[in-house]
Structure 1
Amino acid sequence: MKIFEYIDLRESGISSRKAAELCAISRTTGEKYYRKFIENRASLIANPTWENSQVLIEECLTPPSYNTSTRCPRKYTPEVDALLDQILENEEEKTRLLGNSHKQQLTCMQIWELIKNAGFDVGLSTITKKIKEKKNRHKECFISQEYEPGDRFEYDFGEVKLMINGQKKTFYLAVMTSPWSGYRAAYLYENQKSQVFFESMIRFFHEVGGCFKEGVFDNMRNVVSKFIGKTEKEINPELIRFAHYYGFRINVTNAFSGNEKGSVERSVEVVRNRSFALKYQFDSLEEARIWLKNCLSDLNKDTKWKEEQLFLIPLLPDYEAAKIVDRTVNKYSLISVDGNQYSVPDYLVGKEVRVKIYTETVKVYYEHSQVAEHRRINDDKQKTCFDIRHYLSTLRKKPGALRNSAALKAEPELKTIYDNYFSEKPREFIAILTRNKNMPLDQLKELLKIEACQAPSPQPAYEPLADQLQGYQALFA
């Protein structure tokens, strides 16, 4: 704008010296552009063609430019460049070790200070420009992928925080998706243990009606047992057995390369947002799971999973995804699992049993037969899960122990029925439980109430004292 102002002043008759002073520019520079303007205008007047007019317009619109192509940096020497490369390489190693989400990257200012402290006199703007150039030089090119139906599924975990019965708790979404059909499945769990990992895939295969040819995973602990060097990985043997059983290939992405399973990365965000962004308070975990299932039904309405079903590998009987351990039954007929205790039938005291630990249940086997099943305690430690029917043999011999037994007190409703109707008849209470021990506990409680109401009122063992006195009086009379 100063150049245009200078030209206007010169056109109005002001001298070059005065115009340069008013515009605060060099008189030589101003005159150079003024002479060029005069020449272009004279050329246009002499030959008023469209091309000549465009030249004049372009000269008026284009700001002054300088040829910097031949310039070389005076202070940014090869030694500074080598030092900057070393610093940026150290930053990449830090990111590899700490992860992409770490907040400890060096700023341009800090890098410039490191270079200055090394004895190099170079400007901050120069270093900032070079850092930008070097980072842009290594930008990655992504190859668009297209898959056939039934080709692959992608797996990932996502964290979600919910208010359950007024308490804030952290849960984990096991999310699986098919890139071809866009179908999404997600299950809510309290941890990311191996049982959860395998059980969630089994549930997914049942939900879609078959298995895929390839499963894509990141470098989670359930997938990679250990790293050997920077690129070699040792796959979890249990996952290898699982994949061989169902017939799919294992594909593990490179470290910090979520784009290699972009479908499920995006699915975690979508499922978490659609399901729990607006509603995050629930009375129980089961209610949250039902809510999640309903939200996924809406999400999957327009997917092509019905068409993809035709290309899936047929399902086999369920893979045994439980953690299997052996335990010895203690004198209270209890076994210990993950810091909690579970009751088993009393005839197994002192014997060794096999325990299959699932995400939600604990099953106990003795000599290849299931002898007990409990809902697994996941949210606490040092708790005991009783089933009073496991102690019936002992209670028949020791009925007096029933009143204060921990197994009875573990079922408050059952304890109330006992106190109200059977406190004087413990043997009858035990007999009813024994006859109907295979009945579900809720039905058994109702049966006990019915039996108590139908039982005849007990007759007094002796006549009332008033009747006895009356009899004595009649005798003496």
Structure 2
Amino acid sequence: MSAKIQLSFGVRQYAIADGCTRKTVRKYLREFDRETGPSPTEREVDDYLLTRPKYDSSGRVRRVVTDDVRRRIDGFIDRNRENVAAGLHKQQMRKLDMWRCLQDDGVRIAYSTVCQYVRALEAAPKSQEKPAKAYIRQDYEPGFRCEFDWGVLTLWISGVRTRLHMAVFTLDHSNMRKAYLFSREDTLALMEAHRNCYRELGGTPRVMAYDNMRTAVKKFLGRDREHTDALLRMEVHYCFTPHFCNPRSGWEKGKVERSVEYIRRRAFSFEVRFDSLDAAQTHLAAVCDRLNTEASNMSAEEKRLRIKADLAALRPLDHGDIGCFEQRLYRVGKYSTITVDGVHYS
């Protein structure tokens, strides 16, 4: 508009040339006259044109974040505080989960708008900046590698607060996730989780990635590990090779590390009360099935094709399901009973 100021154009010609409305043209012309005067010098014109525009946002009102939306988001934040007070700090809704709940209920709101509103309510101090680290994303062939990890969560089962353990499997090629709930994190739960997962998948991967959990590692032998009897049985039965991460190196199986937090948050950040453990498992399975169809770091169609390729490349279950049991040797006590995990059996 600066070049046309020197010409005797009308407001309509300015608006057509700049692609704006006549009201906008009049506003800028009045502002120019007010700042430079009736006879501006060339220097004054240049100074005015180099000045950054200023906008008064003090009078703006929220058009999308209505009172109803604010109440709903405040309710999500209150639920997070209740979970933290109950010791469920890992089962809080993130801003993305709040936005998804609003979208599911038909509220048309941008994710950035939810973030701005929640950040305005948060009073937590910013954490100190840490030096950045570089990690290389790995890619695997279909059906080659699967990662496993445990997660802990708390639910109310039939009104009783119950601490549960969640076994999570993630196929590296497609990021397909499966999860199962158990009351304990022991050898039998480990075997049953693998049996249930392989039964659902219809096959087994070539490599299983673990951390150094006590149910899989009996003891360290230098840089090697001595496998537990249960893991050796699963290796022989399902024909996979275990791979153990280095201590305190969770990024070596980063897909499942992220999956534990992601599944726990998506499934149990809002729903925490169930009539039975089976009902909680049914809810968890439905959430996993939904996540396996959603777009993530890939489109939904690409994920579907990758999952199909993963399942087709798995090793078939030639020997069926493994028997989930432990064989132990006990001595009969003076009361003619044996003691298993603190319980006496005749």
Band of TM-score, shorter chain = 0.5 to 0.7
| Residue 308 (1) aligns with residue 307 (2) | no
Give the counterpart of 1:167 among 156, 160, 168.
160
1:403-438 deviation line (CA, Å, top 9, x unaligned)? xxxxxxxxxxxxxxxxxxxxxxxxxxxxxxxxxxxx
CA, structure 1 residues 323+241, in 2 after alignment: closer, same or farther (shift >3 Å)?
closer
Give the counterpart of 2:215 among 216, 222, 239.
222
Moved more, 259-268 or 243-252: 243-252
Q: How does 1:376-415 map to 2 (within 5 A)?
A: none
**SS at 1:172 equivalent:** strand
Equivalent residues of 2:167, 2:181 under 8 A apart: yes
CA, structure 1 residues 144+207, in 2 after alignment: closer, same or farther (shift >3 Å)?
same
What code does the residue aligned with 2:138 have?
Q
1:341 CA displacement: 6.0
User: 1:210 is matched with which residue?
Assistant: 203
Equivalent residues of 2:158, 2:273 under 8 A apart: yes
User: 1:412 is matched with which residue?
Assistant: none
User: 1:261 is matched with which residue?
Assistant: 253
Q: Distance in 2 between matches of 1:327 and 1:286?
A: 33
**SS at 2:161 equivalent:** strand
Q: How does 1:456-471 map to 2 (within 5 A)?
A: none
Q: Distance in 2 between matches of 1:238 and 1:156?
A: 16
CA, structure 1 residues 252+329, in 2 after alignment: closer, same or farther (shift >3 Å)?
closer
Equivalent residues of 2:143, 2:309 under 8 A apart: no
User: 2:177 is matched with which residue?
Assistant: 184
1:336 CA displacement: 6.1
Structure with larger Rg: 1
Aligned residue-pair number: 209
| Residue 295 (1) aligns with residue 287 (2) | yes
Q: Distance in 2 between matches of 1:267 and 1:162?
A: 19
Q: How does 1:273-292 map to 2 (within 5 A)?
A: 273-292=265-284
Q: Distance in 1 between matches of 2:161 and 2:206?
A: 39
**SS at 1:323 equivalent:** coil
User: 2:191 is matched with which residue?
Assistant: 198
1:128-185 deviation line (CA, Å, top 9, x unaligned)? xxxx9xx95xx75422211110011000000001112222221000000101122111
1:308-366 deviation line (CA, Å, top 9, x unaligned)? 22111010222222113467999x999865444679xxxxxxxxxxxxxxxxxxxxxxx
CA, structure 1 residues 324+299, in 2 after alignment: closer, same or farther (shift >3 Å)?
same
- Normalising by structure 1, we get a TM-score of 0.40
Q: Distance in 2 between matches of 1:279 and 1:318?
A: 32
What code does the residue aligned with 1:307 have?
A
1:298 CA displacement: 1.4
Q: Distance in 1 between matches of 2:229 and 2:340?
A: 24
Q: Distance in 2 between matches of 1:199 and 1:155?
A: 13
Q: Which ranges in structure 1 are unaligned for 5 or more consecutive residues? A: 1-131, 344-477
Larger fraction in helix: 1
1:36-79 deviation line (CA, Å, top 9, x unaligned)? xxxxxxxxxxxxxxxxxxxxxxxxxxxxxxxxxxxxxxxxxxxx
Q: Distance in 2 between matches of 1:233 and 1:186?
A: 26
**SS at 2:279 equivalent:** helix
User: 2:141 is matched with which residue?
Assistant: 148
Q: Distance in 1 between matches of 2:320 and 2:329?
A: 24
Q: Distance in 2 between matches of 1:175 and 1:214?
A: 15
Q: Distance in 2 between matches of 1:335 and 1:225?
A: 24
> Which has the bigger relative contact order, CA under 8 A and spacing at least 6?
2
CA, structure 1 residues 183+255, in 2 after alignment: closer, same or farther (shift >3 Å)?
same
What code does the residue aligned with 1:170 have?
R
Equivalent residues of 2:154, 2:162 under 8 A apart: yes
User: 1:455 is matched with which residue?
Assistant: none
- Normalising by structure 2, we get a TM-score of 0.54
Q: Distance in 2 between matches of 1:285 and 1:251?
A: 31
CA, structure 1 residues 325+236, in 2 after alignment: closer, same or farther (shift >3 Å)?
closer
**SS at 1:255 equivalent:** coil
User: 1:246 is matched with which residue?
Assistant: 238
| Residue 320 (1) aligns with residue 313 (2) | no
1:247 CA displacement: 1.3
Q: Distance in 2 between matches of 1:306 and 1:203?
A: 19
CA, structure 1 residues 202+333, in 2 after alignment: closer, same or farther (shift >3 Å)?
same
CA, structure 1 residues 333+291, in 2 after alignment: closer, same or farther (shift >3 Å)?
farther
1:88-126 deviation line (CA, Å, top 9, x unaligned)? xxxxxxxxxxxxxxxxxxxxxxxxxxxxxxxxxxxxxxx
Structure 1 residue ranges (4+ consecutive) displaced by more than 3 angstroms after TM superposition:
325-330, 332-343
1:220-252 deviation line (CA, Å, top 9, x unaligned)? 1112212345x4433324313321321111110
Identity over the aligned pairs, expressed in percent?
A: 37
What code does the residue aligned with 1:248 have?
F
CA, structure 1 residues 342+246, in 2 after alignment: closer, same or farther (shift >3 Å)?
same
**SS at 1:294 equivalent:** helix
Q: Distance in 2 between matches of 1:165 and 1:288?
A: 11
Q: Distance in 2 between matches of 1:141 and 1:289?
A: 37
User: 2:34 is matched with which residue?
Assistant: none
Q: Distance in 2 between matches of 1:197 and 1:324?
A: 15
Equivalent residues of 2:199, 2:321 under 8 A apart: no
1:284-312 deviation line (CA, Å, top 9, x unaligned)? 22221122122222122254323322111
